[in-house]
Amino acid sequence: MTTTVTMLPPEFADLERFAEDWVHPTETERNAFRVKQSMADLDDYYVTIFPRMDALCEYIDQFSLDAMPAAAVRLLRLGQMLMEVVPATEVYRQPDVPNSLDFERFHIISPDDPIKALEN
Amino acid sequence: MSSAPEIELSPEQRLPDWANTRPVSDRYPDIDMGPLSIEPYVSEEFFELEREKIFKKMWLYVGRAERIPNPGDYFTQVIEVVRTKKDGRFPSFIICRDHNGEVRAFRNACQHRGTTVCWDDHENWKTNNRKYFSCRFHGWVYNTDGSLKFVPDENQFCNLNKAERGLSPVQCAVWKDFIFINVDPEPRQTLEEQIKPHAELLKDFPFEKIHKRGIWTATVDVNWKVAIDAFQEGYHVNTVHAATIPEAFNGALNPNCRPTSIRLFEQGNRSVTFMVSPDFEPPETEKWIRKRGSSWYAAGGSETLNEFPGTNPDNDPFYAFDCHGFFPNMLVDPYIGGFYGHEFWPISVNKTRWIGSINFTEPEKPSDLITHEHGKTLLRDAFREDTVTLDASQVGLESGALETTVLSDGEMAPRHLYNAVMEMVNS
């Protein structure tokens, strides 16, 4: 008998398909990922994740910032990825900001989030 | 004596009428509102005078105390504009917290033969910690208070007085966790005197409890003053930010995004306030965010956060954010829930290193990091729109196409910055 390894808690099985590729720990990586997606994929992400955000927040807020289990951290990153995606899907309707300074010159040097993931 | 009953005015009635008036210049009748020569934006000679008379004489913000919370913590900062020679190399500074917990600043140069001591990338936000600073060239070791602790093979030196060869200290002062340095060994003013109008206004603003979460940087081919001007008026919002924030700041009441308040202070300091459009219908996510915290311009639109003291000078019900210009090269922009800001580091007359950042109150729970990410992304996208205009501005200014610029009433902050720089350069 084989068991499937899941990356998210069972109550978020509907989001599991995003867990492999859409989880990124930093703003730089989330942004780099977002600008390479198609609008269809960004829209798909938006319509799937947004309705689940209250439940997602309720789940991750069970934990304290300095002791988050890995699955909760992944949910947090998915929530942060939604924030990265919404300007594209809700406002300017293309993957990257039109008429803007390109990333060769515009550098993201944001600090890491103040969280501590629990080991394993 | 009884007073007449106060008439309840609607929010729209309480706001000033900008439709056909020029309220800012009316309040400052002594300011010449005519065209301005472009020389200060394009002249290399003028830039050298700015370096000598402004940047080498004033307190310059270099970082937040949160970067160095513990003894031995330090970061380095390169400050191109205070270099000794016009075409000289850019000096580096060490800003650290010594073993007694005091914030100090030193020139990042070994007192043996001048070599850089700390080689850390100054653009990296990571904080480093050392018990001692050790020069990798010959191994001289300094304490965190700058004193020279150890010289390898000391006997080979003749009459070396270690007490005189500590790291060269630089004047350093901290205001509400903003660390400033002054390369003038005898500053003509204290930090508090230099930033007095802002220090009074913002004395109760809880800067110490608000920390950096987003930082972005770009080196742009533009004069430092032109770069600052792009961020201290609302006139550009309809066009530059048509993609990211097309309807947040305009609307029927204020269609051209005029500031609701512009206050001019001495020594080039100034403060501008902006409102959100009362007609603004936020996108769905933003409505969701406002239930949990604030995006960076939520006006009366956060259900959980209040304005901090020192903001929203006119009690504007649609208050969005303030823009405080700390002369010479810093903007501090409080909003509901935090503050954002900018540093503009002049490199040459037509090159500037810009750093933009956003700061939030400390997250209490994991979902706060999601709320913060919304503000970070929105602001960052807007900054990418702002920064792309800058090179194009300088190209035009240097082209010979125009000898003067014309500034409107709502562009009084650029005019005030210009006038203050002229006054200091000509003094």
- The CATH code of the domain that includes B382 is 3.90.380.10
Q: Would B4 be classed as within a structural domain?
A: no
Nearest Cα to Cα of residue B217 among B344, B362, B82, B109: B344
Across residues A79-84, what is the average pLDDT?
98
Question: Nearest C-alpha of chain B: how many angstroms from A17?
Answer: 20
Q: CB A84 to CB B373 under 8 A?
A: yes
The whole-number pLDDT of residue A3 equals 64
Q: Which residues of A touch B383 (CB under 8 A)?
A: 106
C-alpha dist (Å) from residue B132 to B21, B45, B121, B136: 61, 41, 18, 12
Residue B423 to residue B333: CA distance in whole angstroms: 25
The whole-number pLDDT of residue B6 equals 52
Is A60 an interface residue toward B (CB < 8 Å)? Answer: yes
Q: Would B3 be classed as within a structural domain?
A: no
- When pLDDT is cut at 50, 70 and 90, the band that residue B11 belongs to is low
Q: Would B1 be classed as within a structural domain?
A: no
Helix then strand then coil, % of chain A, to nearest 5: 50, 5, 45
Q: Would B224 be classed as within a structural domain?
A: yes
Each residue's pLDDT tens digit, B167-210 = 999 999 999 999 999 999 999 999 999 999 999 999 999 999 99
Q: Would B410 be classed as within a structural domain?
A: yes
The whole-number pLDDT of residue A46 equals 98
CATH of the domain at B130: 2.102.10.10
| Same structural domain, B37 and B67 | no
Nearest Cα to Cα of residue B246 among B216, B282, B275: B282
Is B367 an interface residue toward A (CB < 8 Å)? Answer: yes
Q: CB A83 to CB B285 under 8 A?
A: yes
The whole-number pLDDT of residue B242 equals 92
The amino acid at B208: E
The whole-number pLDDT of residue B204 equals 94
- When pLDDT is cut at 50, 70 and 90, the band that residue A120 belongs to is low
Lowest mean pLDDT among A51-65, A74-88, B236-250, B403-417: B236-250
* Cis check: omega of the bond before B366, within 30 degrees of 0: no
Q: Which residues of A touch B213 (CB under 8 A)?
A: 110-111, 113
Which carries the bigger pLDDT value, residue B4 or residue A103?
A103
Across residues A48-67, what is the average pLDDT?
97
The whole-number pLDDT of residue B159 equals 93
- When pLDDT is cut at 50, 70 and 90, the band that residue B278 belongs to is confident
Of B186, B218, B242, which marks where a domain is finished?
A: B186
Question: Nearest C-alpha of chain A: how many angstroms from B92?
Answer: 19
How many domains does chain B contain in total? 2
The whole-number pLDDT of residue B25 equals 82
Residue B392 to residue A99: CA distance in whole angstroms: 12
Cβ burial of B228 (10 Å; 0-12, 13-18, 19+) is: buried
The whole-number pLDDT of residue B19 equals 42
The whole-number pLDDT of residue B70 equals 96
Question: Nearest C-alpha of chain B: how many angstroms from A2?
Answer: 33
Question: Nearest C-alpha of chain B: how many angstroms from A82?
Answer: 9
Which carries the bigger pLDDT value, residue B1 or residue B164?
B164
Residue B325 to residue B264: CA distance in whole angstroms: 10
The whole-number pLDDT of residue B26 equals 82
Across residues B262-287, what is the average pLDDT?
91
Suggest the residue from A56, A99, A104 to mutate for an interface test with chain B (most B CBs closer than 10 A). A99
Each residue's pLDDT tens digit, B206-251 = 999 999 899 999 999 999 999 999 999 999 999 999 999 888 888 8
Of B160, B186, B212, which marks where a domain is finished?
A: B186
pLDDT at B280 over 80: yes
| Same structural domain, B247 and B329 | yes
| Same structural domain, B208 and B256 | yes
Q: Which residues of B touch A43 (CB under 8 A)?
A: none
pLDDT at B309 over 90: no
Question: Nearest C-alpha of chain B: how many angstroms from A22?
Answer: 15
Q: Which residues of A touch B374 (CB under 8 A)?
A: 83, 86
Q: Would B9 be classed as within a structural domain?
A: no
- When pLDDT is cut at 50, 70 and 90, the band that residue B4 belongs to is very low
Global pTM? Answer: 0.93
Q: Would B336 be classed as within a structural domain?
A: yes
Which carries the bigger pLDDT value, residue B9 or residue B179?
B179
| Nearest-10 Cα torsion for B386, B346, B356, B407 | -40
Contact assessment for residue B67 and residue B124, using Cβ atoms and an 8 Å cutoff: no
Q: Would B256 be classed as within a structural domain?
A: yes
The whole-number pLDDT of residue A1 equals 56
Contact assessment for residue A71 and residue A11, using Cβ atoms and an 8 Å cutoff: no
Q: Which residues of A touch B387 (CB under 8 A)?
A: 100-101, 105-106
| Same structural domain, B228 and B365 | yes
Domain that holds residue B154: 60-186
Is B306 an interface residue toward A (CB < 8 Å)? Answer: no
- When pLDDT is cut at 50, 70 and 90, the band that residue B260 belongs to is confident
Nearest chain A residue to B124, by CA? A109
| Same structural domain, B179 and B202 | no
Is A78 an interface residue toward B (CB < 8 Å)? Answer: no
The amino acid at B84: T
Q: By percentage, how much of chain B surpasses pLDDT 70?
A: 92
B157 Cβ neighbours under 8 A, 6+ residues apart: B151
Is A70 an interface residue toward B (CB < 8 Å)? Answer: no
| Same structural domain, B272 and B413 | yes
The whole-number pLDDT of residue B301 equals 52
Contact assessment for residue B410 and residue B258, using Cβ atoms and an 8 Å cutoff: yes
Each residue's pLDDT tens digit, B139-172 = 999 999 999 999 999 999 999 999 999 999 999 9
Question: Nearest C-alpha of chain A: how many angstroms from B74?
Answer: 16
| Mean pLDDT rounded to a whole number for chain B | 91
pLDDT at B5 over 70: no
